[in-house]
Structure 1
């Protein structure tokens, strides 16, 4: 794909010469495109496809920045009638894996695990950093979902912390974060 993977455009630690700036509006369009792709995998095919590894570098962008979900090595096919798929081991990348993979009482997962991973990725898109960052100055900032919830959702909005320039961008960021919370 001509624009490479989504991760090139969202993490602040990527050097600026390698990173083209995408507006929050464009990132929001990409978020919607990825959601449509997941909906197609989960409901649009004759066979349901569970990806199990939704994350920024598995999203490629075409010349118009339309997202394409790629790399189905961990994917599992199941019938549309199956709502729960039996899994013996966790699949995916650790900070994107849905919590039900780690619960011994739950021996199955559903398409909702992809939705959880998608939500974690949306959060990274808003803030420009990975959802777990051990290099932060305060321990309360290590788990990014908790940190960003306190700043944006609870009304303690500090747009400059996320690199937001104005009220419009803050509204879009808040909307994306609420989408993420809905994915939990």
Structure 2
């Protein structure tokens, strides 16, 4: 039995040593996925299938649509993820560029994406407590800190959202999907962009228009703040189907409740969860400040998340039209602006 275990371990380590980004043929991809038998999901860029490199190593294979873009997503993923390694960033195992066939091979994360656990619509999983969500938030922030400060070049993700946070067996979060990422020198305070990128509801105002400030690493901070607020509310930040119209735009409703010293009406399962929710909400509100210079760095975000006891102080209103002296009557302007930003042209 010992000899058999040793052989098993040796085989696993040999397989694992080979897990630097490897170039696969399309025939390899078909073999790894058992001819695309087990579909895990689909998105704008392609379909994702479960695969197996060996009996010990499972992977997720994203088969990219031939008609999608000019190859920028593929180049971004391979060029960015092939050089970085962090416990809170999904590992790129390999890739395929075989004629017009392109695929990306990632480590397999069995619990899937975070959105399945915080948005209840049609999902079985809706059982993560606030302490677990706090740990997930902290892990995501550590991953962002690595991208912003721990690499040779600063990596701006530009698409931080629940769907792009994957969870392993122990619910440790890993940032995925670097198709929209940009690299910049650490000393630069801003990056140039020719078009807005990201997902509506998580995109910082300055990404739409330079009128709102320069695009920088602070744009990822904004997206992380919107993600935090969705984790607290276990709902989308913009939801026109809620019964109370004041709750359509959740961040503004949360800010009003906190200014008045009222609870956030979350479902509390254990003692202390209300305190955790309040802290996460306040950190999220700091992160979504309208002006990029008013948002904290990810290092300061981590300090706020780590802090024990008292929640951080409440930030100024992130909503340009909200009267802080009358939080019980939040204006609809923030909601109109959130949905109307898509039509604002970029100024460069």
Q: Give yes or no for TM over 0.5.
A: yes
* Larger mean Cα displacement after TM superposition, 25-34 or 95-104: 95-104
Contact conserved, 1:42 with 1:50, CA < 8 A, in 2? yes
1:13 maps to which of 118, 121, 136: 121
- SS of the residue corresponding to residue 68 of structure 1 reads strand
- SS of the residue corresponding to residue 100 of structure 1 reads helix
| Residue 172 (1) aligns with residue 276 (2) | yes
User: How far is 1:176 from its partner?
Assistant: 0.3
Distance 1:88 1:183, change over 3 A: same
| Residue 102 (1) aligns with residue 199 (2) | no
2:285 maps to which of 152, 156, 181: 181
Contact conserved, 1:41 with 1:50, CA < 8 A, in 2? yes
1:74 maps to which of 165, 180, 190: 180
Distance 1:141 1:107, change over 3 A: closer
Per-residue CA deviations over 1:89-129 (Å, capped at 9, x if unaligned) read: 21101100011123343574001110100010010001100
User: How far is 1:27 from its partner?
Assistant: 0.4
User: How far is 1:83 from its partner?
Assistant: 1.3
| Residue 85 (1) aligns with residue 191 (2) | yes
Residue 153 of structure 2 corresponds to 47
User: How far is 1:75 from its partner?
Assistant: 0.5
Residue 249 of structure 2 corresponds to 143
CA distance in 2, matches of 1:108, 1:150: 28
User: How far is 1:167 from its partner?
Assistant: 5.2
- Structure 1 or 2: more helix by fraction: 1
Larger Rg: 2
- Structure 1 or 2: more strand by fraction: 2
CA distance in 2, matches of 1:34, 1:12: 21
CA distance in 2, matches of 1:78, 1:55: 21
User: How far is 1:152 from its partner?
Assistant: 3.7
With structure 2 as the length reference, what TM-score do the two structures score?
0.49
| Residue 156 (1) aligns with residue 276 (2) | no
Of structures 1 and 2, the one with the larger relative CO (CA 8 A, separation 6+) is 1
CA distance in 1, matches of 2:211, 2:225: 24
Contact conserved, 1:87 with 1:108, CA < 8 A, in 2? no
Contact conserved, 2:190 with 2:214, CA < 8 A, in 1? yes
Aligned residues: 180
RMSD: 1.6
Contact conserved, 1:87 with 1:107, CA < 8 A, in 2? no
